[in-house]
Structure 1
Amino acid sequence: MTSSALGECLDLVLEARLDEALDRLAAEHDGATSPGRRARFAAVAAFGAALAARHAAARRWAELARSQADDAASLAVTTAAETFSSCLAPPGDGARPSGELRFDPGWAEEDACVVGYLATEAAMSSGRLGDAEAFALAYLDRTWEASSQAPLMARIALARALVFEGRVADAAEAIAVSRVEAEAAGALPVRMLSASTAAYIEALLENVGETERLTAFVVALDPEPSSYVTVGSHLLCAFGLGAAGLTDRAAELVLRAAGGPALPRLQTVDRAYGYELLATAAIERGDLRGARAWGRRVAPLQIHDMAAAAVERTLSRIDVASGHTESGVERAAVSAARALVAGGRLDATRARVLEAAAHAAAGARGAAVAGFRDAADEADLLGAAAVRTWSARELRRLGRRLRPAAGAGWQALSDREQQIALLAAEGFSNRMIGQALFLSERTVQSHLSRALAALGATSRAAIPASLGRARAPIALDGLTERQQQVASLVAEGCSNRTISQRLGISDKTVEKHIQAIFARWQVSSRTGIANRALAPLPAPEGRLA
């Protein structure tokens, strides 16, 4: 690895060897021969002091860097350090950012390596998720030699940005790579942050056992965290436990890691998230007075859109629990809007669940049902299974259910839905099924719609193929070769237009072949063709004669 004094200092910071790092940075600053070079060391010192929660020192270092910066890279690293410091410090105590975050991968190795990483973290800390993702992707497109730890941390930052943007599958892929890298070459903070980010993602995927395992791993690595990264790792594990419904354990972890009720070891936006967990736990315990106390602490923390979204979610919960449902609805809607401004689709979806819950508490049943279903659909798109389950649970309290997720499969259906799907697959109409099962046609159609969604079937005729894809087709006896092709495509649920496009024939010719198949096989529907073209289905209970 190419020697880089600035990169070596950054590695000391990221390894949480903060006293050693700050002493080295001060010495390098004093020994530098140009203002721009001194500014670089001062900016990294500001970053390190902010991580050490020495906010006055971080501000002084940032001001010194600003006074000495005289070229594009030194100005960029100074802006990144200022932005990061301002987010970690109590409101008004941090450095004041001057200029926009920027990073040019084409800069010299040392500059690009250090500035790119700091810009990524600064964007993440200030709630600019899209910028954080863009910086991280550009950064990870190069191989760096100036720092060993910064590239590892940048990949974790990418995963964190992706998950809060609501791209859960992409985040899971990024963190899987990170876990391998971190265990191979990462210092303790890198290993902890990678594992804790994975814990949160696994919770969203409803892998609760893995979330608990990773949380135990992180806590065992550092039971009494004190640095920004190690404390933040405990907090991410708490997020995971909260997403998994283990709210009391999440609250306990927040208080222990963050240093007590004031959460002094957390940066501002993390304090907002921490208070949200604490207020939620209090409400679930029936401690409304305690929840209101957490609400008073969280209210001033709206330093940017993502922080404001967390504040409004917390206050919405408290308002609803206090009977102030109208303001609860309004706060949840504001939270969703603020999260979307920052690109936080996951947090926006969580806010929509709260908005629907507020409608339910206000007695607005229709708005609540629609809200829960919309939130569940959005959670499904994001891959946030835990949020979808939360919506489904709230909807069940209203006596309603979600449609199964598209392609969820046979096991996602109730016994009644399976029964109706099998009868429909045999070609029976809704009226016939309803008469046999003593159900209204409307109820049959409702069950059938859920079955079609779960099976990924576009029509009744596609149900046999959806249920029997593992079965080998039986002989298509008595048909011409072209009629066999048409019958097979009908069994897949294809429309006449799709069949005509696949076979290169007209819609009218397809219809003629279908009528011929009806006559040859003595069936009267496309579902009848599908049943004849595929092997028999299991006999449903309540089979019609």
Structure 2
Amino acid sequence: MRDEGETALRRTLDALVDGGPAPGLGADAWELALAAFAASWRLEHGEAAESARRAAAALPAEPRDDPATTVLVRAMLALAAAGTGIRGGWRDTAPGSTPSGDPLEDALPLLPLLDDSDGARFARYALGEAALACARVGLSATLGSGPATFSGPLAGHSFETIMAVLAARVAAFSGRIDEAGAVLDRAAPTDSPRLGDLMAATRSLVAGNAAEPAAVRAMAARVGRIDPERDDRIESGIALLTAYGLIAIDDVRRVAALVAGFNWDRAMVIDRALTLEMLVHAAIREDDQGAAEAWLARVEAFAGDPIADSTVARARSRVLLFEGDADAAVEAAETAIRLADAAGRGIEAGEGEILAARARIVAGRRGDAARRLETVVAGVGEDYRGLLRAAARELRGTGRRLRPPAGSGATALSAREQQVLELLLDGRENAEIAEALHISVNTARIHVSRILAAYGAPTRLALATGMLAESGAAPSRVDPADVDAAGELTPRQRMVVAEAITGAGNVEIARRLGIAVRTVEKHLTEAMRRSGVTTRVGLVMHVAGRPSAADAE
């Protein structure tokens, strides 16, 4: 890039961070692309589209002659379309301006040609920003390997905060919540009050989906003091990201109060659609059918736009369910999920799953709802706690509970299930557990199955030996001399029990010790009798020295 291009980039970024007027720029492709970026940043979408078209016309005939400029121009064509909207498919984003009409896809082959200059890093960032603005989260995620900093004269520029926020937004909207938080933790601190608020709002998005309501509500109170008349992507981003955090904790009333105070007509298409869906949601919560239908009519204006297609389908589902057509609501929600999944919109897909489950429950398909939510929960990370809580909340009113995610352990168990676990590790059978806790045998069975699921154990014995291994009490081999401190067992019984503690079955124990399987069974039965227990689990835990619940009493 020429020195003039670097100077133009610095002047543009200075103005965007400060919220000042756009600088005067030249008429070459690079500076026209910067003008398009500045116009989009000010939410002047028509001006952005015109500058992007002029920039495309000024490009060299061979893209490889100037890959950074070509990538930036193609990013600006997509970013402008994210403000004006797209009718048709992605190849209708910029027909005639790029080889396929899809400027984002057409920019990808040029990325390996980019050097490590500030201009190239900005072009890569801009491509990711444009992909996210088009709600192509999956595509934006594939671009996330680039650094969120500059390496040359612009190193340390305040705009690096915005680059870090992009990386965090992409991770969060993909459903990778802990990763999003880590990106923000690594970002350099900023002296800019506006950028500080933007970082805090991004943390609100992360906190909401991590099920941390106090942090989200604190940010919402802070946003309420921001001047809504200052229209640019920083100010609108602060409010929107906070609203997304509030939605994640199901605080619909605060969302409605927040978004109602801002002028969203100039926002990006996806932001307008999501804001209108929030207002549909809020109207339904207030049992206001007229308002819900009015907001839905505005959402429907985005039907056929691939940027907002999943949002439109989800808003339809909400209103259909509100009006009593649960089956149609399920169908619309499933459409929303399919479209969101195709674009890598993890949070939107999760919201669609919750809505679909709600509709299935109303339609009398509780089992279907529970099974589907269990599948969804099993497929997301433990850091996506907002979705996990929402799924549990939907089923709570039906008397059903989600099966705990495998490996979640004690944290996924209720207080009652903790009691059942203690008795299970004593070697109690289901009937004995039921009697001890004054519950039905069927309820005891359900609790046991949830415990096994939480620990990822197929059997009670696997659970017991797994917990011993976790505590360091069950290595792959156990010295028989360390078994049976009370001296209740014979030497041969100690040898058999030492193998049982490792989780080995009877056949494997027989093979290891060179004895018959029936002999193993006989020794285990006698060892249980001498130890005063009736199950293999009880024996393993007893000889390992674990005090029983009965002993504790």
The reply to whether TM is greater than 0.5 is yes
Q: Is the 8 A contact 1:487 1:514 kept in 2?
A: no
Match in the other structure for 1:35: none
Distance 1:442 1:53, change over 3 A: same
Distance 1:431 1:146, change over 3 A: same
* 2: CA distance, partners of 1:483 / 1:222: 78
Match in the other structure for 1:443: 443
Q: Is the 8 A contact 2:493 2:527 kept in 1?
A: no
Q: Is the 8 A contact 1:335 1:348 kept in 2?
A: yes
* 2: CA distance, partners of 1:168 / 1:201: 6
Match in the other structure for 1:81: 76
Gaps of 5+ in 1: 31-37
Distance 1:456 1:50, change over 3 A: same
1:46 aligns with 2:36: yes
- CA displacement at 1:232 relative to structure 2: 1.5
Q: Deviations over 1:69-91 (max 9, x none)?
A: 11333222111111101102356
Match in the other structure for 1:530: 541
Distance 1:330 1:428, change over 3 A: same
Supply the AA of the counterpart residue of 2:540.
I
- CA displacement at 1:8 relative to structure 2: 0.3
Match in the other structure for 2:260: 255
Supply the AA of the counterpart residue of 1:125.
A
Q: Is the 8 A contact 1:105 1:138 kept in 2?
A: no
Q: After the TM superposition, which residues 312-331 of structure 1 pair with which residues of structure 2 at under 5 Å, given as runs? A: 312-331=313-332
* 2: CA distance, partners of 1:354 / 1:475: 54
Match in the other structure for 2:478: none
* 2: CA distance, partners of 1:130 / 1:108: 24
Match in the other structure for 1:400: 400
Supply the AA of the counterpart residue of 2:285.
E
Q: Is the 8 A contact 2:224 2:258 kept in 1?
A: no
Q: Deviations over 1:74-123 (max 9, x none)?
A: 22211111110110235679976634233346336143122112111111
* 2: CA distance, partners of 1:208 / 1:190: 22
* 1: CA distance, partners of 2:507 / 2:382: 30
Aligned residues: 516
Q: Deviations over 1:418-462 (max 9, x none)?
A: 333222222222234345556554332111112233455553235
Q: Is the 8 A contact 1:486 1:510 kept in 2?
A: no
Q: After the TM superposition, which residues 422-461 of structure 1 pair with which residues of structure 2 at under 5 Å, given as runs? A: 422-434=422-434, 439-455=439-455, 457-461=457-461
Q: Is the 8 A contact 1:84 1:125 kept in 2?
A: yes
TM-score normalised by L of structure 1? 0.83
1:60 aligns with 2:56: no
Q: After the TM superposition, which residues 382-531 of structure 1 pair with which residues of structure 2 at under 5 Å, given as runs? A: 383-410=383-410, 412-434=412-434, 439-455=439-455, 457-461=457-461, 476-477=484-485, 478=487, 487=497, 490-491=500-501, 494-496=503-505, 506=512, 516=523, 519-520=526-527, 522-523=530-531, 525-527=535-537, 528-531=539-542
Gaps of 5+ in 2: 61-65, 475-481
1:206 alignment partner, SS class: coil
TM-score normalised by L of structure 2? 0.82
Match in the other structure for 1:165: 174
Distance 1:489 1:294, change over 3 A: farther
Q: After the TM superposition, which residues 70-469 of structure 1 pair with which residues of structure 2 at under 5 Å, given as runs? A: 70=60, 71-89=66-84, 98=98, 99=103, 100-102=106-108, 103-104=111-112, 106-107=114-115, 109-140=117-148, 143-146=151-154, 148-178=157-187, 181=188, 184-185=189-190, 187-220=192-225, 225-257=230-262, 259=263, 263-302=264-303, 305=306, 307-379=308-380, 381=381, 383-410=383-410, 412-434=412-434, 439-455=439-455, 457-461=457-461
* 1: CA distance, partners of 2:405 / 2:374: 11
Supply the AA of the counterpart residue of 2:186.
V
